[in-house]
Amino acid sequence: NRKGFNSSNCKAMNSIGYKETEMFLSGFIESVGDLEETIALNTRHLAKRQLTWLRNRPYVVWGRKNNISEIAHEYLLKVADL
């Protein structure tokens, strides 16, 4: 592509960090500090949307990080009973 990749012709460039950096380089975001704040804010928004989506899935099993083998074992037992 002679014009290069940008957010209008490449979906990956719409990822968090890329689109904000493009806005910074275009002058829409004025400072590196504002860039960092915008990326952090958009990351939090994405994480919230992901958690909301996951909470509405009945097959998602929530558990503690330090008990992953126990969680996997319980999940496999549950799936085997289906």
Reading the chain (82 residues) residue by residue, the pLDDT tens digits are 456 776 677 777 778 898 899 889 999 999 999 999 999 999 999 999 999 999 888 888 776 666 777 778 888 888 887 5
CA distances from 43 to 38, 50, 80 (A): 8, 11, 37
Residues whose CB is less than 8 angstroms from the CB of residue 68 and which lie 6 or more positions away in sequence, other chains included: none
Query: What pLDDT is attached to residue 46?
Result: 93
Token reading at 28: 């829409």
Residues whose CB is less than 8 angstroms from the CB of residue 54 and which lie 6 or more positions away in sequence, other chains included: 60
Reported pTM: 0.62
